[in-house]
Amino acid sequence: MKLTAAFPYLSLLITGLMPLVGVLFLGWNIYAIVFLFWLESLVAGVFNLIKMILAREKTKFPITIFFVVHFGVFIIVTGGFVVFSAIPDAERHSVFQLHIREILTLMVLGYTANLITQYIMNGAYKTTAPMDLFFAPYGRIFILGIIIMSGVFLKDKLNVSQGTVLLIVLTVCKFIMDLFWTILMKTQGGVTVNLRQLKK
């Protein structure tokens, strides 16, 4: 396997291990994991926007602007729900005490490596249509949302020890989902499922 081909899996391993390390060694609870998952969704959307901007298609700007508005509203609404509804007031301060700067740095580095190796260096930006990228973040975010809400709901039904096990199960499920998504993107040519190919 070439080094560049291994970058997506290396990035996946890093982002996948972060919540697991937090749960096992740093005392993170379900609310910290919920916020971390939302933060990664935001980063994924930003890098998807970068891909759309880099695409060679001349008519990319209308759909790119629409994505900014559409995803911007989506991430603000979900972020507001996560911060002000899913996370209780008593837990909000402790969540914001996480090493957000370091976590965000690792996320950005991982997504940057993927952008360079799986989109720019392999020339995918020359053939990928922005419309094919438009819905790319949503499938993953939708599944992630189900995992998050399941965790919040089940946490209220379980005791503390079971809650720790639940957090580990959630992080493993998220890792498996990300692995599947990464393999799917590589199978479809590098960046996302090509909608025009699926119609043939």
User: Per-residue DSSP letters for 72-129?
Assistant: HHHHHHHHHHIIIIIS-HHHHHHHHTS-HHHHHHHHHHHHHHHHIIIIITT-HHHH--
51-75 pLDDT, tens per residue?
999 998 888 889 999 999 999 998 8
SS3 of the chain: helix, strand, coil, percent, to 5: 85, 0, 15
Residues 6+ apart with CB under 8 A from 38: 78, 79, 82, 148
Answer whether residue 185 shows pLDDT above 70: no
Q: What is the mean pLDDT of the chain?
A: 75
Amino acid letter, residue 24: L
Report the pLDDT value the prediction gives residue 80, as an integer from 0 to 100.
80
pLDDT at 184: 66
pLDDT of residue 135: 84
CA-closest candidate to residue 172, choices 48, 59, 42, 24: 24
Cα distance between residue 129 and residue 169, in whole Å: 36
Contact by Cβ (8 Å): 51, 125: yes
User: Which pLDDT does position 176 carry in this prediction?
Assistant: 80
Write out pLDDT tens, residues 13-60.
777 777 777 777 777 777 777 788 888 889 989 999 999 999 988 888
Q: What pLDDT is recorded for position 60?
A: 85
Question: d(Cα 155, Cα 5) in Å, to the nearest integer?
Answer: 38
CA distances from 144 to 40, 154, 164, 197 (A): 10, 15, 19, 26
∠ CA 86-72-35, rounded to 5°:
30
**CA distances, 178 to each of 8, 12, 94, 183 (Å):** 10, 7, 27, 9
- Higher per-residue confidence, 106 vs 54: 54
Q: Is the pLDDT of residue 104 over 80?
A: yes
Q: Which residue has the higher pLDDT, 8 or 159?
A: 8
Say how many residues make up the chain. 200
Across 2-44, where does the E strand assignment appear?
none
Q: What is the pLDDT of residue 196?
A: 42
Q: Which of 3-7, 48-52, 93-97, 139-143 has the lowest mean pLDDT?
A: 3-7
Confidence band for 191, pLDDT divided at 50, 70 and 90: very low
- % of the chain exceeding 90 in pLDDT: 12
Domain definitions of the chain by residue range:
3-193
